[in-house]
Structures are given as structure tokens and as C-alpha cells.
Amino acid sequence: MSTFKKVVLYTAGDGRARFRDDTLELSEGKPQSMLSPLQATGGYQLRRSPVGFRSDFHCTGEPQWVFILSGRMEIGLQDGSSRIFEPGQHFFSADTLPQGATFDPDVHGHWSRQVGADPLETLFVRG
């Protein structure tokens, strides 16, 4: 069976954001065009971030897919690591604030920034 790589930004048990690679099974369709089962969504938003954009540390409010349409996006974690996503790449952002926690920018969440000479355009699809 074919699979689809799903990069997940999530909140670990210690409250810190981490990345992991999961897979989705492509169990539907035909051999030349395999599909995942239909996934429910809660709407979508488009965003354009200018050259030089950088956010502060924050948590994802609602889990969502993030698709890079143009430009480059870097996601940084509390441990100092980061990943850069380019056009055509995507990840599932689910690093929500742990239940009952008060946001602490020294512990929780991630930052994001536009990288390079082109504005960043992204598509957010609520999960």
C-alpha cells in the first residue's frame, strides 16, 4: 500500500513543540492515482507575509495543515532547531497549548518567519 509523508508539528508531553514524521495510508483510488480517505476540514485561509516577517513564539490555535504556495517559511522550536519549508511542501500544525496551561513563551509554541527574497504565501486548512 502507498503512503503519504505527514510532517507534524505537535506539543510533546513536556509542553514543548516538536516535529515528527507520520504517514497516511493511500488506500483509495487506482494504482496510477492513489488517494487517502476523505479528511474533514473546517475551512481555509490564505496568508501573505512580506519579506522580513517573523512572528514571536506562539501556539497553534486550531490544528491545521499549512501548505507553502510561494516563498519559503522557517519554523523554529524552543530547542533551537528549525525546519524550512519551500513551495509545494506542507506540514500539519498541531502544537496547541496544553490543556490548563498558561502560555509561556520560554516553553510553549514555535516561531515562524519568511525566508529569502520573495514574500511568503501560505494556505491554512483547518483540520
Mean pLDDT of 50-78: 97
Instruction: Quote the mean pLDDT of the chain.
Output: 96
**What domains are defined for the chain?**
2-126 (2.60.120.10)
Q: Which residues pair with 33 in a beta bridge?
A: 30
pLDDT per residue as tens digits for the range 72-114 = 999 999 999 999 999 999 999 999 999 999 999 999 999 999 9
For residue 13, what are the CA distances in angstroms to 10, 17, 24, 62, 108? 10, 9, 23, 18, 11
Between CA 121 and CA 29 the distance in angstroms is 30
pTM recorded for the entire structure: 0.92
DSSP label at residue 81: -
In this predicted structure, what is the pLDDT of residue 1? 72
pLDDT per residue as tens digits for the range 14-32 = 999 999 999 999 999 998 9
User: Kind of pairing, strands 17-26 and 72-77?
Assistant: unpaired
In this predicted structure, what is the pLDDT of residue 34? 94
